[in-house]
Amino acid sequence: MINPSMVTTAFDLHGFRVKRTIGIVRGLTVRSRSILGTIGGSLQTFVGGNITAFTNLCEKAREEAFELMLQHAGQMGANAVIGMRYDANDVMDGVTEVLAYGTAVVVEPAAESR
């Protein structure tokens, strides 16, 4: 599995150089809200502020998609992911897909300039 510190939204990884580009990797999860979560979240909207029931659901979905992307990159032989992004779409009412994607690469420590 790839160390999360070897993932960046940038197109280079500080202190490393890209030795080989492998290709696009992704992690996809589809999540739905439970009835209790929906009721709890709906009640929190009356009070206002952070709706923790939905925040927790979104965080779990992103975390799962991220982990799946790391697994995919590792299976392809990568040791880093650059250009990482998230995307989310509603599949149907109460059901959301979360996609984590990026470019799988093999990096090596950059030679220090003298």
Residues whose CB falls within 8 Å of the CB of residue 11, separated by 6 or more in sequence, listed in order:
82, 83, 103
What pLDDT, on the 0 to 100 scale, is given for residue 44?
55
The residue among 93 and 36 whose pLDDT is bigger is: 93
What one-character DSSP code corresponds to residue 5?
G
For the chain, the domains span 4-109
**Cα–Cα dist 70/17, whole Å:** 19
Q: Which of 2-11, 47-56, 92-101 has the lowest mean pLDDT?
A: 47-56
What one-character DSSP code corresponds to residue 110?
P
**Cα–Cα dist 8/52, whole Å:** 27
Q: Which CATH class is domain 4-109?
A: alpha beta
What pLDDT, on the 0 to 100 scale, is given for residue 105?
98
Band of residue 75 on the pLDDT scale cut at 50, 70, 90: very high
**Cα–Cα dist 75/69, whole Å:** 10
Quote the tokens at residue 43: 């009640």
Q: Which tens digits make up the pLDDT trace of 12-57?
A: 999 999 999 999 999 999 987 655 555 555 555 656 666 677 788 8
Radius of gyration of the chain (CA): 18
